[in-house]
Structure formats: C-alpha cells, structure tokens
Structure 1
C-alpha cells in the first residue's frame, strides 16, 4: 500500500534553479509510521516536492516507472533485502533514481548492502543521517571553496558543480545586492508565507526573519 505526502510547491521543470526532488521510502518497519517519516523530513521540506511511502515493492517499482524529470532519492529498509535483490535489475534500469540509501536499523546487516547497486550512496542506521546526506547532495559544502563568491567558484570548479547549485548561488548574490523599498520587502515576505502556507515551521521562520530584517 502506498502513501503520498504532498508538499505544496509549484511544478518546476528540469531547467529550474531548484531541483524537483522526490523522496521514495520503501518501508516495512512498523516502528517508523508514515506520520513519523513525514515529520522527520520537515527540516528539508523546502527541498522536497513529495514523499512517497510504500510497503509493497511491486507498487513501488510501478510508481518508479511513472517518474519523468524529477530527481529521486530512494530509501530502502533492510527488511526488503531479498525482495530488493530480485528487483534490482529493474530498479537500476530506471534512470530517474539518482540516489539509493539503505536504512539499516541493525548494524550487523550493513555488510549485506555494500555494492548492491551503482547508485547506492551509503547505509544509514538513523533517519537524521539520511536527511543530512540528502541536504549535502543538493548543496555541496561551501567551505570546500576558497571564497563565497560565486564567480570564484565558477572559475575554479565549473565542470564539477551541479548547474542548479551555480544558478541558485548567482540568484542569491543578485538578490542580496538589490536595494528594495519597504513595500517590495513586504510583498516578498507575503509571497513566501503564501508559498509555504502548509509548513508552519517555515512560516514562523519567515515571520521572524521579517521582524529582524
């Protein structure tokens, strides 16, 4: 049975500066309810268009076939080990799967998951470490670069950086240099509140930013 947790975002095409990420969780561990999983990903909700949770691998694979332009992060519980092996060839043929993470609650089972598929990026024993990995995959650490200037970053590492990261940094630098009047600022904050209306934590952060701005 599949559960869909939608995030209220506009559809973003493949040329956008912000990635359209889908989290797919193949879950059979009843200790992690769908509500728990949803709450755990609130921290990076701004990176996610939707979270799809499955407890049946056939339904999950059928859904994977429908993915078009989205970046996909797939999280597989270690309890699906044998079923996953049988479906590995099919899953690997679906090129929309950018990254596979293994959620392994039993450290003794970690070795079983080593090198099972080309897109596997690691085995994790807790949700927090998976969330951190997804964040890092979307935004490479800035302290790896000698300066915060996007011009220096482009000059030094253009071939190594994700274009969406470059565009977002350019946009940020442009926005920070533009002088806005009070009305423009008010409209911008109101737009952000409307855009993230379904995320109370983000709306609260926007309110605090406006008060301190």
Structure 2
C-alpha cells in the first residue's frame, strides 16, 4: 500500500509561482507517526506549501528511499523524524537527487553530535518555520551552484587556444602604441615566446612586415 496521503501528494502542474515559493524542488517528509488529522500536522503542511508547493509524505521508509532513488530531474529536500535519522540517513545521504536533510522533530542533545558527520543535514529543528527559512536559503544556493557549474561546463567546451588568442587580440587592440619601437619590442618578445613554433613565427613575421602604424586596420589572426 502506498503510504503517501492524497492531500499531500505533489501537484507539479499546479505549483504556485510566487517570489516566496521555491520552484523546481520537491519536499519529502518521512515520519512513521504522521497523523493527518492532527492540527499541528495540517498547519505544518500549510506553512510548507507556502515555501515548496510540491510535497510528498511517506510513512513507509522503503517506499521513501525508492522514491528518492527514482527521481530524475528534480532536487529534493527531506524532512525526517529524529527516530529514523540514524538508520535512514546513511542509506540516502550520497544520492545526488537529495540536496539537504532536516531532522524534525528531534532531540538536540541526542542527535547534535551525530549529525556533524553528515554534511547534507542542515540541523535539528523544533519549528516548521525554521525549516521553511532554511529551505529557501538552500534552494537559492543550489540554483547559484547550478548556474556556476553550467557556465563552467560551457566554457570548458571552448577550445582553449581560441580563448587565449581572442584575449591576446583584445589586449593588443587596447594598447596605445606611440611609435614603431613599441611594435619592434612586441615582435621581439613574441618571437622569443614562440621559439621553435614555425607556424606562429611565420604569423609574427607577417605581422611585423605588414604593420603600418595603425593596428586597427590589421585583421590577420595572431
């Protein structure tokens, strides 16, 4: 039997689009003692939905682990009760789909030292509002990390020699050359730099011969 409750099932196509609601993230709550009729639970769900609209509730630990393992394109946050954290966290901590873990409710003194061994655990919480604040912060950090990784990946796909050549050309074009002596010094430096590289030396020699005092008119690749 699937232990997810219909009232808390995620509605990905109905996520709210507000500044305070985290997008593209899923919140999973695992607690074998969840009571759907309890007012505290209902209030907690209401507060959580103001932060992450897609929420999955589990009482069955195996089903929860399987669900996390099968996630494809979504990052997830996990709320887990203190009674389960020591047995479940070691099984799921390294899953890439899981971004952060929140122990709730939990005894601070009982679990604080243990949680230091697990970097994805953001703390032991006694209030849902604290988790909401932490989720928003972690979601922003995750988005920023993704942007940096994406940019770095795109840059790595560019041929390094092309990047260096373009940077070198931009630097040269910004230099204020006063006379031919500067060009002579530049050519001498470049020849020393590319000693043994016949292809580059040929380009440098051609540059030196064709230069007439106006670098802006020179469009040969360096």
Q: Which residue of 2 aligns with 1:24?
A: 28
Q: Which residue of 2 aligns with 1:54?
A: 58
TM-score, structure 1 normalization: 0.52
Cα 1:163–1:38 shift into 2, 3 Å: farther
Q: Which residue of 1 aligns with 2:100?
A: 99
Q: Compare CA radii of gyration and give the structure with the larger one.
A: 2
State the SS of the aligned residue for 1:3: coil
Q: CA RMSD in A?
A: 3.4
- CA-CA distance at 1:126 after TM superposition: 2.0
Q: Which structure is higher in strand share?
A: 1
Cα 1:161–1:59 shift into 2, 3 Å: closer
Cα 1:42–1:11 shift into 2, 3 Å: closer
Q: Which residue of 2 aligns with 1:75?
A: 79
Decide whether the 8 Å contact of 2:108 with 2:124 is kept in 1.
no
CA distance in 2, matches of 1:44, 1:131: 6
Q: Which residue of 1 aligns with 2:192?
A: none
Instruction: Give structure 1 regions of 4+ aligned residues with deviation exceeding 6 angstroms.
Output: none
Cα 1:33–1:11 shift into 2, 3 Å: closer
Decide whether the 8 Å contact of 1:21 with 1:47 is kept in 2.
no
Cα 1:81–1:136 shift into 2, 3 Å: closer
Q: Give 5+ residue unaligned stretches, structure 2.
A: 16-21, 149-222
5 Å matches for 1:56-205?
A: 56-84=60-88, 88=90, 90-139=91-140, 163=147
Q: Which has the higher contact order (CA 8 A, sep 6+)?
A: 1
